[in-house]
Structure 1
């Protein structure tokens, strides 16, 4: 899968080139939206009123007009500082929330499905990365949450009505903790699980996210930790909870 792209809102998007460091100071540009145009007109009217008042004041001061120079310089400096901080706040990078649906999920390839799951984990505040490839040792996405818990996720994209079997649970159990250091081991599918796979996962601490729970995660925007019912590290329980609970 190309590394210069990522999956978002049902489409593959090319990653933007690293932005160059912005030069210090104000940079003027024409308004691009109606809101910016209205704001620019309001600011222009406001500045015009101030300029007219200053001209009247200067006419009354005569030779003492130079006293306004420090005031004008200080005012311009204050405006520049405020504008710079506001600009920095607007340019803060943010993680876009992947707006998906089960219909989008079903249309994905297995690799795209793995990337979509990674994006959902990032949405939930998990520092997730995609590791799925040949020889991935039963892990497609790894990520740590703010509490320091390691989530190991195996993704199984299938046709509608397809079910994940017990052998997948065996593989995840065999590598999740000893190889990847898992605190939370998860198998996610857009299909379902066989009865044996679900029962085995519950007994051995493998969380099962089937089609119904995946829908809750995507469309209800429930966090992964909340979906799985895992608590904080102090009261953490590793055991899986099936979709029937």
Structure 2
């Protein structure tokens, strides 16, 4: 059985009109009393509210100052960052990727580690206001290990289409095969072997200077070779 909807009807007759007016007046009076009580509470409690407001503002400023000091401290540390080859050799793959990220930050790039399963040949991505975007593929290996040309193929294939990069580089603490170096030179994929890595990480040379990466527009993306 359908439920009947309740509807309010208009007052009828003088008596109902008077009753409705009394109810409305009572409601307005109650609202006014509540407003006065709230105002009175605020007036009586303003010192407490003021203390809470000042305390909250002070805490917020302290947090901002602490974060700023931490950023300056990290910036100063990264500006002096030097990593020896011995330290790099002792790292695992993830530590190596974080180290390359910090080195890019030291050199003025806004860099982040992105390497994970399915990273599409990018372990670190860095952005620079004048030099655009760089994609770094990290290959940590045993001393004497060599990186083959298949890695440079993969980096070339994803740097522009997937990561919208202007520059692509493969970095290893080992060495590259002749084919990998020759193919990279022909197709614009930079490579950093153990010797170049020492100049970059240990001696403090900037990567873009080491690789002679020139300034370019962010619109000029890394493109496939013809």
- Measured against the shorter chain, the TM-score band is 0.5 to 0.7
Matched pairs, number: 156
Q: Give me the TM-score of the superposition, normalised by structure 1.
A: 0.59
User: Highest CA radius of gyration, 1 or 2?
Assistant: 2
Which of 80, 91, 113 matches 2:69?
A: 91
Q: Which structure's residues are more often helix, by fraction? A: 2
Kindly tell me: are residues 23 and 196 of structure 1, through their superposed partners in 2, closer, same or farther at Cα, counting changes over 3 Å? closer
Which of 75, 78, 91 matches 1:108?
A: 91
Consecutive unaligned residues in structure 2, runs of 5 or more: 1-58
Question: Relative contact order: is structure 1 or structure 2 higher (C-alpha 8 Å, sep ≥ 6)?
Answer: 2
Which of 132, 149, 164 matches 1:181?
A: 164
Q: In the TM superposition, what are the counterparts of 1:88-237 in structure 2 within 5 Å?
A: 91=69, 93-94=71-72, 95=75, 96-97=77-78, 98-147=81-130, 149-233=132-216
Equivalent-residue separation in structure 1 for 2:157 and 2:70 (angstroms): 41
Aligned to 2:43: none
**Contact in 2 for aligned 1:105/1:113 (Cα 8 Å):** yes
**Contact in 1 for aligned 2:148/2:177 (Cα 8 Å):** yes
Q: Give me the TM-score of the superposition, normalised by structure 2.
A: 0.64
**Contact in 1 for aligned 2:132/2:215 (Cα 8 Å):** no
Kindly tell me: are residues 208 and 23 of structure 1, through their superposed partners in 2, closer, same or farther at Cα, counting changes over 3 Å? closer
Consecutive unaligned residues in structure 1, runs of 5 or more: 1-19, 25-86, 240-245
Aligned to 1:21: 60
Deviations 1:191-218 (A, max 9, x none): 0000000000001110000000000001
Aligned to 1:35: none
SS at match of 1:133: coil
Kindly tell me: are residues 106 and 91 of structure 1, through their superposed partners in 2, closer, same or farther at Cα, counting changes over 3 Å? same
